[in-house]
Amino acid sequence: MQVGIIGVGLIGGSMAVDLKNRGFADRVVGVEADALHASAAKELGLVDEIVSYEECIAMSDMIVVAVPVSIAIRMIPDILDKVDRQVVTDVCSTKEKINDMVRYHPNRKNFVAAHPMAGTEYSGPWAALPGLFDGRAGIICNAEDSYMQAVELVKQMYDCLNMRVIYMRAAHHDMHTAYISHISHITSFALALTVLEKEKNEKNIFDLASGGFSSTVRLAKSNADMWAPIFSQNKENILTVLDTYIEKLQEFKKHIADYDEKGVKDLIHKANKIKRIIR
């Protein structure tokens, strides 16, 4: 089988390496608009060859769209215009608007909306990691809208990547990712902005930063070109969870301002319940 990956960055590159090394694909070709990234992807051995967009579609059995969601939402309908037997899937962090975009496309059933929930704060082909997806959740959305054989092929791909396959409606996916992923990035960005604004001496940040600060602010290193479109496309869900998050910050602020240690402890004890879910 030949797999074509459009966008050979962190996710696309990591996927390319494991699909080839673990025997899912006999050959992996890549499409990369950035010349430096294209050269690096080839030199790092992430793909067998860098090809044009049109060549990738024509020569691949499966096409993985691994570009920012703002590009994917326009690209996927165009790819579906050009396919015959090929299976098309994506890796985007939002699903509902993409599904809406292709809902009535004649080749809709060739497309499997999916999201491998893995990543790091780094980007580009240099960030690609073997084993990145091991043990992570691979979400397949609205499977009934796709050919059964197409869904099965994407599931086999996720099995090869050692992922836990979960089936979900696109609307539910976007709601849950707002709660557990998108708000985490906004929190990290906001914390980084706060510290950079309040602490003018960068050496103090470097010298005094603890493990707790580093882990909390880690996601603030994430790529703006990827995350700004995600926030736009999942706006309604993100605004809802942001309102709740701001309410909780206000509760902490009030109890601290009132010297109310019991109120602060109560909030912390409630937050500690997350230990039952995430260990």
Write the pLDDT tens digit of every residue in 83-101.
999 999 999 999 999 999 9
**Residue keyed to tokens 């959740």:** 137
Please name each of the domains of the chain with its CATH number: 2-168 (3.40.50.720), 173-276 (1.10.3660.10)
Q: What six digits make up the tokens of 186?
A: 């906004």
**What pLDDT is recorded for position 210?**
66
Cα–Cα distance measured from residue 74 to residue 80, given in angstroms and rounded to the nearest whole number: 11
In angstroms, the CA 145 to CA 61 distance is 19
DSSP classification of residue 4: E
pLDDT band at 217 (very low <50, low <70, confident <90, very high): confident
Query: For residue 208, what pLDDT band results from cuts at 50, 70 and 90?
Result: low
* Antiparallel, parallel or unpaired: β 49-50 and 62-65: unpaired
Cα–Cα distance, 130 to 166 (Å, whole number):
22
Q: Sort strands 111-116 and 87-90 into parallel, antiparallel or unpaired.
A: parallel
Residue 30: which residues within 8 A CB-CB, separation 6 or more?
Answer: 4, 5, 6, 8, 12, 16, 38, 41, 42, 46, 47, 49, 50, 51, 56
The C-alpha atoms of residue 2 and residue 56 are separated, in whole angstroms, by: 10
Q: What is the mean pLDDT of the chain?
A: 95
pLDDT of residue 214: 80
244-273, pLDDT tens digit by residue?
Answer: 999 999 999 999 999 999 999 999 999 999
Residue 205: pLDDT band by 50, 70, 90 thresholds? low
| Interval 124-142: pLDDT, tens | 999 999 999 999 999 999 9
Question: pTM for this structure?
Answer: 0.90
What pLDDT is recorded for position 215?
Answer: 81
Looking at the chain, the whole-number percentage of residues with pLDDT higher than 70 is: 97
pLDDT reported for residue 277: 82
- 104-131 per-residue burial string, b: 16 or more CB within 10 A, e: under 16: eeebbbbbbbbbbbbbbeebbbebbbee
Q: What is the edge-to-edge ordering of all strands in the sheet holding 164-168? A: 49-50, 27-31, 2-6, 62-65, 87-90, 111-116, 137-141, 164-168
pLDDT of residue 212 exceeding 80, the answer is: no
